[in-house]
A and B are shown apart, each in its own frame.
Chain A
Amino acid sequence: MRSMLKDAVNGLDEILFVEIPEGSVILVTGAEGTLKSGLVFSMMANHVAANNEHALYVTLELNSEIHLRNMNSLLIKKESNLHIFDYRDMRYEWMNSELDLIKMTEEVIDSYIDKYDDLTLFALDSLNALYSISEHDNMRNMIYDFFSHLRDKGLISFLIMESAQSGMSGQFSQFHQIEHYLADGTIELGMIDGKGGVKRYIRILKMRATKHAMEKHQLTIDENGISIRGTIY
């Protein structure tokens, strides 16, 4: 029997009560150090390990070796059916050409689907990096088209987006509001400085066509990997 994505991280089923529908585009937002990449990579690795499916993690910020080194330090194991694509070679070899990295990313996804017709999960790390190296006259249209492309492919897509700082929950710059309107889900990660020191949290702000908790839950990492624990305030 196929394992559910909501079971891919220990405790995720405590905040997400039903499965995320195919074709959902989910933003994973948070400041630096809030485990955005780790959480997404961990979900994908665990999911493909439990199912005979493929997943694609596209990293624009780091090359795949550094990304894997970071994931190893979080004790997250890369499965052979979790593919990592970075743009290092392409950007270096074509440094004198103008590359439309949004179109390229769509082509990369299509290429992996051509190769693996059971590709079900996609992640982009990060949307901010994609914007910073893309030149488009009309970013709103571009975002709309990009999200539509992901939906049309029937993938569950995680788009990592760094927000300015922790504690800005629900506050997004005008520029980034469009993604929040268009996305089917938003997972917010952050840090809270409380009595027991700084704690990481996860909160599902939105997840269309699902039932989910609204409270902030503690996000921990230990020798068993990433876990979601009880509510935190």
Chain B
Amino acid sequence: MNTSVENVPDLCETLEDNCKKVVDKIIKTNREVFIMYSLLEKQMCGYDIIKEIFSRCDVFLSQGTVYPVLYTLEEEGLLHAEYSKGDMRSKKYSLTPRGREVAEKDIENFAKALEQISFLVKR
């Protein structure tokens, strides 16, 4: 590859793009952890979660990948869902006590795994 001075901005852009792709893939594959992380502080609906992850991580999780996670976590008793007052159509999710335990543990494990991967690939 030609890495002359004129091509350095292009190269940086490519590296940035590649990095973004990797981050994108990691977040999409581990969306359950990111969804539960979003719910640590407050209750949210699917729409709010997608928006929150996008503004925080610059990654758009599509609706078809987020709502099934919310439904299955609710089935497993890790999330509690309730309709907003006066609006029977918008369902807000919050972590149950067991869900919070699982979320905190999963987030910790995820961070540790990333640290370990980072250590493994450092030269």
A111 touches B69 (CB 8 A): yes
A233 within 8 A of B: no
- Looking at the assembled complex, report how far the CB atom of B9 sits from the nearest CB atom of chain A, in whole angstroms: 35
Q: Beyond A107-B64, A108-B64, A108-B67, is A94–B72 a contact (Cβ under 8 Å)?
A: no
Docked Cα-Cα span, A92 to B46, in Å, equals 11
A133 within 8 A of B: no
**Neighbouring A residues of B62 by C-beta, 8 Å:** 104, 107
**Neighbouring A residues of B90 by C-beta, 8 Å:** 89, 92-93
**Neighbouring B residues of A93 by C-beta, 8 Å:** 45-47, 90
Within 8 A of A (CB), among B67-113: 67-69, 71-72, 75, 89-91
A104 touches B63 (CB 8 A): yes
* Number of interface residues, chain A, beta carbon within 8 A: 20
**Neighbouring A residues of B18 by C-beta, 8 Å:** none
B65 touches A107 (CB 8 A): yes
Docked Cα-Cα span, A27 to B88, in Å, equals 34
B81 (CB) vs chain A CBs: closest residue: A89
Docked Cα-Cα span, A93 to B91, in Å, equals 9
Within 8 A of B (CB), among A109-138: 110-112, 115
**Neighbouring A residues of B63 by C-beta, 8 Å:** 90, 94, 99, 104, 107
- Looking at the assembled complex, report how far the CB atom of B33 sits from the nearest CB atom of chain A, in whole angstroms: 13
- Looking at the assembled complex, report how far the CB atom of A106 sits from the nearest CB atom of chain B, in whole angstroms: 7
Docked Cα-Cα span, A115 to B75, in Å, equals 12
- Looking at the assembled complex, report how far the CB atom of B44 sits from the nearest CB atom of chain A, in whole angstroms: 11
Q: Beyond A93-B46, A104-B62, A105-B64, is A115–B89 a contact (Cβ under 8 Å)?
A: no
Among B46, B63, B71, find the residue whose CB has the most chain A CB atoms closer than 10 A.
B63
Q: Beyond A89-B91, A92-B89, A93-B90, is A83–B75 a contact (Cβ under 8 Å)?
A: yes
A165 within 8 A of B: no
**Neighbouring A residues of B72 by C-beta, 8 Å:** 83, 112, 115
- Looking at the assembled complex, report how far the CB atom of B105 sits from the nearest CB atom of chain A, in whole angstroms: 18
- Looking at the assembled complex, report how far the CB atom of A115 sits from the nearest CB atom of chain B, in whole angstroms: 6
Q: A104-B62, A108-B67, A115-B68 are in contact. List 17 more A-B contacts (CB 8 A).
A: A85-B71, A88-B89, A89-B46, A89-B89, A89-B91, A92-B89, A93-B45, A93-B46, A94-B47, A94-B63, A103-B64, A104-B63, A107-B62, A107-B63, A107-B64, A110-B65, A112-B72
Interface residues of B (CB under 8 A from A): 45-47, 62-65, 67-69, 71-72, 75, 89-91
The 6 A-B pairs at the shortest CB distance, nearest first, are namely A107-B64, A111-B68, A93-B47, A104-B64, A92-B89, A108-B64
List, sorted by A's number, 24 A–B pairs whose CB atoms are closer than 8 Å: A83-B72, A83-B75, A85-B67, A89-B45, A89-B46, A89-B67, A90-B63, A92-B89, A93-B47, A94-B63, A104-B64, A107-B62, A107-B63, A107-B64, A107-B65, A108-B64, A108-B68, A110-B64, A111-B64, A111-B65, A111-B68, A112-B68, A115-B68, A115-B72
Interface residues of A (CB under 8 A from B): 80, 83, 85, 88-90, 92-94, 99, 103-108, 110-112, 115
